[in-house]
Amino acid sequence: MPLFNNRLAQLDDAIEHAETYGEYREACAEHDELSGANEWKAKDPCRDYDYRLIRKRVQRIKLARGQGDILSLMSILHEGLHGNLGNIANPVLQHQSKLGTKHLIEEFNQQVAGALDDIYAANETEVDFYEKLSFFEETAHAFGRSCLMLSGGAGLGFFHCGVVKSLNERDLLPGVISGASAGSIIAAMLGTRTRDELIDVLNAEFIYNKFRNWRVFKGVTGKSMFDSTQLENALIEMFDVMTFEEAFKRTGLHITITVSPADLHQFSRLLNAKTSPNAIITQAVRASCAVPIVFSPVQLRAKNAAGEIVPYIPNRRFADGSLMADLPFERLARLYGVNHSIVSQTNPLAVPFLSRNRKDANSVSSITMRHITNLAKVNSIYAFDVLESAVGNRAAKLAIHKLRSVIDQQYVGDINILPERGMRSLAHLWSNPTVESIAELIRNGEKATWPQLDYIERSTHISQLLRRYLKQLKEREARVLGQAQNLRLVESKTA
């Protein structure tokens, strides 16, 4: 027994200090073998999910696939496919092992993916093209999709580079991405570069060359303490005058940059290809990074129909997006149909208070702590509302309003990737970076993502497959309609 425990301790150490994801997985696999986690995965029964429902659904899908019954497959998936069927997305299930989860859940996901393959490839004498298109449209909409949200965090925001680097290398980046403040820089990088191009920019040297002098102190006499020239020049070099619509056409990613108003009686805005297609990304990012007092607020800009650069939302200036919309999940849900979130969280106002372990999410102590936290939040919001209504000074009223917004936010998602705790990381907040400090943050981001990769893949694979097939069907439809239109045009000219 001591020898057994000693080996598990050695594996824990190997997992913590793994230099590559391959080393990490190898140590995790041996840990699961020795700890008994593999035995847990092999047993279907468990009170944390409805294994009977999932087992029955697997049997029905396998039977229909074996018989080549495409119509039955479509019916089975139509009637109840969603990401948390039978509570299979229960966080408790993700912490019983280092890798993977119940084999039954993994088999269910594999059978659903195989059924989607079969439906897409089905002979169209049996399943009409437009029946397929309708199936994938309806099922993709009902199933929903995942989003990646990158929080604010000033100099800590380079942690996001490590997170997205890990996701990009394994083709796990969601199609919907938001960024606030420092996170807006990384979101814009994702939205303006192809997957291969990202490999060249998600490294310490590139980041350092662009942002080594982002913090230039200019005194406290003006509207801001720091000169934003270096930051603005870096953003112009990276994004030029590309608009959100142009970025979407280039990469196919729906990126959103959040900005907050610099005055009262305005709400935070989500800038993206749907809400503001002609807005220029560079100015949106610059505004989202405009932490009050640190950097001055920004006038947004856009391209008009003639391609000229013009003011966007004239007479308004915008500032730090994380103040009012660090993680704008609800509005992303309305815009893009997302119902599942992956959060890379570096906001120093939130990170110290967030749990890194959701094993005991339903314990009495955890439930009690959540209740106390919610009460404190509600009471704080009430106090700020009373204070704001009692204050007459406009500047003071605006400051109170911003503080209220900071408190009245949700700082976690379904999957949360957090930096290590410790005062050392706070040194990155407002200092100019070095190659070494950026490399450390990127490395920290990569390693913090590794434990979540299996979970992310399971959570996103079906939605990505649905949307991939839907996209291919729509592209095919567009080609056919285009050919038909061209044929009619030729016939009209030759008639």
CA 313, CA 198: separation in Å to the nearest integer? 31
Eight-state DSSP code of residue 27:
H
Token pair for residue 451?
A: 């434990």
CA 110, CA 117: separation in Å to the nearest integer? 11
Eight-state DSSP code of residue 243:
B
The answer to whether 421 and 398 are in contact (CB under 8 A) is: no
Q: Tell me how far CA of residue 172 lies from CA of 168, 203, 247, 403, 464, in angstroms.
A: 6, 19, 19, 35, 9
User: Has 181 been annotated as catalytic?
Assistant: yes
Token pair for residue 120?
A: 């897409």
Helix axes 182-192, 244-251, angle to 10 degrees: 50
Q: List CB contacts of 188: < 8 A, sequence separation 6 or more.
A: 179, 238, 239, 247, 255, 257, 281, 284, 285
User: Has 32 been annotated as catalytic?
Assistant: no
Planar angle of CA 431, 435, 439, nearest 5 degrees: 100
Q: List CB contacts of 100: < 8 A, sequence separation 6 or more.
A: 32, 41, 106, 454
Among the listed residues 181, 268, 288, 322, the single catalytic one is: 181
Q: φ, ψ for residue 332 (rounded to 5)? A: -65, -35
Token pair for residue 254?
A: 């729906």
The answer to whether 287 and 319 are in contact (CB under 8 A) is: yes
The answer to whether 254 and 276 are in contact (CB under 8 A) is: no
Eight-state DSSP code of residue 409:
S
Q: φ, ψ for residue 33 (rounded to 5)? A: -70, -45
Under the phi-then-psi rule, with left for phi > 0, alpha for psi from -120 to 50, and beta for the rest, what region is 253? beta
The answer to whether 211 and 156 are in contact (CB under 8 A) is: no
Q: φ, ψ for residue 117 (rounded to 5)? A: -60, -45
Helix axes 229-239, 204-211, angle to 10 degrees: 130
CA 157, CA 337: separation in Å to the nearest integer? 27
Residue type, 22: G
| Alpha carbon 464 to its chain's center | 14
Residue type, 137: E
Active site residues: 181, 320
